[in-house]
Structure 1
Amino acid sequence: MSPAYATTFAVLDIRPEPYAVTPILSARVGIASIGEEPVHAIALRAQVRIDPGRRSYSDVETAGLLDLFGPRERWSQTQRSFLWMHCATTIPGFSGGAEVDLPMSCTYDFEVAASKYLHALRAGTVPLLFLFSGTVFIRGSTGFAVQQIPWDREDRYDMPVAVWQELMATQFPETGWVRLREDTMAALAQFKAQHGLLNFDDTVGHLLATAEESA
């Protein structure tokens, strides 16, 4: 992109989207465009990564991260930046600068590394890295010009853990999700019926209690 149309991005805030059907965070992104011509539109994409090495962890959090990173003494080798999500939005025209909302669709599936990580955190912040890309459409006196957002457009943002906790408490109050194979689910349902248990939560609790007694 030529210097005349240089565009920069900064994450200003992240908050839960209160009325969404599925769990969505909304990132408020500030955009600055340096150039004489107005921006007609931007097709914006972002890769959002978690950078776990940018914060410290309590003993309780360390225990919750064992499955993801292994014991603490190995973290210098195992704690690497990893992908959380890809997200995108279309931004209408503006001149000079603008603030827009970038929707971030989330999951509470514990098989996903990011969900495991976020579930283990108790306080503090989530260290995020936004890598921006996409296309900028410039409207000038001689017509339209199309520019690609440079590969080096990125921004770090430390999202409060409380934001994630608020989102999950709203969408899944006092619950979590575990993905099971069909045959495992069928066996669990059969066990539930055979033992007269009311729901799957009671079924898993019964199995855990039995396992502890046998240990």
Structure 2
Amino acid sequence: MVDLRFKIEGAEAERFSVSPLLIFFLRVETELQRRVDSIMLNCQIRIDATRRAYSAVERERLGELFGAPERWSETLRSLLWAQVSIVVPRFEGETTVRLAAPCTYDFCVASAKYFYGVTDGEIPLTFLFSGSLFFKDEPGSLQIEQISWSTEANYRMPVELWREAMEMHYPNGVLLRLDAEAFDRLYRFKRRRGLLGFEEALATLLDTAEAET
């Protein structure tokens, strides 16, 4: 089996995309003494939540994911972020490619809850690779080898990088998804109170609830 090594050398928020993306710069190395024609690469990106410490504020914000802090020794676990696929073009020895990971403000998705809940520091990530490697042997015949599922790379991503990506697309805002019935009730409340926007309607409801509490 051809030995492949992967390393994440850095990351940045993509500025010119329709939706929020984080770009990871993936270095691929091989000891194969000939040209690699291409690699059809699959990558599963996981959040290694157990590999960092959390402040009291973060524990409160992450309660929906992991429960009460006193139970975190049992409930804290890794989370799936994304499954992405790319084609690594022809190279010899080593190359660097851009691996794009989608971001979302959909709080039905565990990764969005986690990224929003962590306030500072770094997020430990694991990249798990699979796929197919294409190259020619000495006689010139095409060879195909599978990439072992044990092939991986680790990276500690600054939390601010995710916030930067979201701020580019949703400046000073957060998306909130409601089902149709809840939206109709909120819209009806807004109209009846003569309120100008949905933020004002939500603020009125929250102020009332907090006053009653």
Using structure 2 for the length normalisation, give the TM-score: 0.96
2:104 is aligned with what amino acid?
A: T
The Cα offsets for residues 9-55 of structure 1, whole Å up to 9 and x where unpaired, read as 11111110111111010010010011122110111111001111111
The yes-or-no answer on 1:187 pairing with 2:164 is: no
1:57 is aligned with what amino acid?
A: Y
Question: 1:71: how far off?
Answer: 1.6
Question: Number of residues paired by the alignment?
Answer: 212
Instruction: Extract unaligned runs of 5+ from structure 1.
Output: none
Counterpart of 1:45 in structure 2 is 42
Counterpart of 1:81 in structure 2 is 78
Question: 1:139: how far off?
Answer: 2.6
Identical columns (%): 38
Counterpart of 1:107 in structure 2 is 104
Counterpart of 1:30 in structure 2 is 27
1:158-169 to structure 2, matched below 5 A, reads: 158-169=156-167
Aligned partners of 1:142 and 1:110: how far apart in 2?
51
Question: 1:63: how far off?
Answer: 1.2
Aligned partners of 2:82 and 2:177: how far apart in 1?
19
- Which of 113, 126, 142 is the matching residue for 1:116? 113
Aligned partners of 1:144 and 1:78: how far apart in 2?
48
Aligned partners of 1:50 and 1:86: how far apart in 2?
12
Aligned partners of 1:34 and 1:178: how far apart in 2?
49
Counterpart of 2:199 in structure 1 is 201
Instruction: Extract unaligned runs of 5+ from structure 2.
Output: none
1:207 is aligned with what amino acid?
A: L
Question: 1:125: how far off?
Answer: 0.3
Question: 1:117: how far off?
Answer: 0.8
Aligned partners of 1:90 and 1:106: how far apart in 2?
21
For the 8 Å contact 1:111–1:178, the answer to whether it is kept is no
Question: 1:168: how far off?
Answer: 1.2
- Which of 115, 133, 137 is the matching residue for 1:136? 133
Residue 89 of structure 2: SS of its match in structure 1? strand
1:64 is aligned with what amino acid?
A: R
1:119 is aligned with what amino acid?
A: Y
